Amino acid sequence: MKTFHLAAPALLALLMPTAFAQKAPTSIQLKPIETTVCAILADPSSFNNKFVKVRGYVQVSSEYSILTDDKCPADIGIWFALADNSGPPGLEAIVNGKGTPGGKDSKVRTIPPVPVRLIRDSNFKGFEHYMTASAHAESCADRPPTDFPPECTTYRVTATFTGRIDSVSKALHSVRLKRSRSCSAPLDWKGFGHMGMFDAQLVVQSVEEVVAVDEDEFRKQQSKPQ
């Protein structure tokens, strides 16, 4: 299996307005909560407006940007956003839902979202490199490659991400779980990401421990008898 490691030290107006790229302090002093994609999907509201560290792999298409984990039950995943309002390579355009970052206190007063600032260091650039290569490789299926040798490798890119979680309310999450059992359930647009389909989004501040695996090699390994 071809595995690529990066050393730890080392879009449109429609695209991501809900990511709330704010003028933030030069550094975030909050210690992130170490958690998992599965834990966030199971109870997103308990992580709302919290600063977290989570590991997963990123899936991107023209309209979707998702952080997921094979250990979780089949689910829609967490919407993956960058704190500077840009999108990962391959994401072209979306129509955002009505989900709003921030929270409410016990007196139902608005709590502003925890500020996050995207750190474009060597780790982020490595992550971006593999995501860009994958997005470029997708075009090989549609037209002949323009370079030689052709770069048509797609990567399964896994990394550890630190950032803020935005979530729908506990009540809305519960309602959506019940609706998901019905294929004819209409979209309510009340969540995050494209068409508000996602109950939670991660607004990324930093990236580390990037691992990129050739998708073809990964599928071959997965198909071998255990």
Mark 63-81 as b/e (b = at least 16 C-beta within 10 Å).
ebbbbbbeebeeebbbbbb
Q: How many domains does the chain have?
A: 1
Portion of the chain with pLDDT greater than 70, in percent: 75
Assign 181 to helix, strand or coil. coil
Q: Give the C-alpha separation, 133 to 89, whole Å.
A: 9
- Give the model confidence (pLDDT) of 63-104 as tens digits: 999 999 999 987 789 999 999 999 999 999 999 999 999 998
Structure confidence at residue 178 as a pLDDT band (50, 70, 90): confident
- Higher model confidence: residue 15 or residue 44? 44
Q: What is the pLDDT of residue 30?
A: 81
Q: Check whether 191 has a pLDDT greater than 60.
A: yes
- Give the model confidence (pLDDT) of 194-211 as tens digits: 999 999 999 999 999 999
**Contact call for residues 78 and 66 (beta carbons, < 8 A):** yes
**Contact call for residues 155 and 133 (beta carbons, < 8 A):** yes
Mean pLDDT over all residues of the chain?
Answer: 84
Give the residue numbers spanning the domain of 15: 3-223
Determine which of 7-11, 98-102, 120-124 has the lowest per-residue pLDDT on average: 7-11
Q: What is the pLDDT of residue 187?
A: 85
Assign 61 to helix, strand or coil. coil
Q: Give the C-alpha separation, 123 to 138, whole Å.
A: 23
Say how far residue 178 (Cα) sits from the centre of its chain. 24
Q: Check whether 193 has a pLDDT greater than 80.
A: yes
Q: What is the pLDDT of residue 11?
A: 38
Q: What is the mean pLDDT of residues 25-47?
A: 86
Distinct helix (H) and strand (E) counts, the chain: 4, 9
Which phi-psi region, left, alpha or beta, contains residue 209 (left: φ > 0; alpha: ψ -120 to 50)? Answer: left
Q: What is the mean pLDDT of residues 39-67?
A: 97
Entry pTM:
0.81
Q: What is the pLDDT of residue 225?
A: 66
Q: Check whether 222 has a pLDDT greater than 50.
A: yes
**Contact call for residues 179 and 44 (beta carbons, < 8 A):** no
Q: Give the C-alpha separation, 91 to 19, whole Å.
A: 15
Q: What is the mean pLDDT of residues 110-119?
A: 96
* Bridge pairing between strands 50-60 and 110-111: unpaired
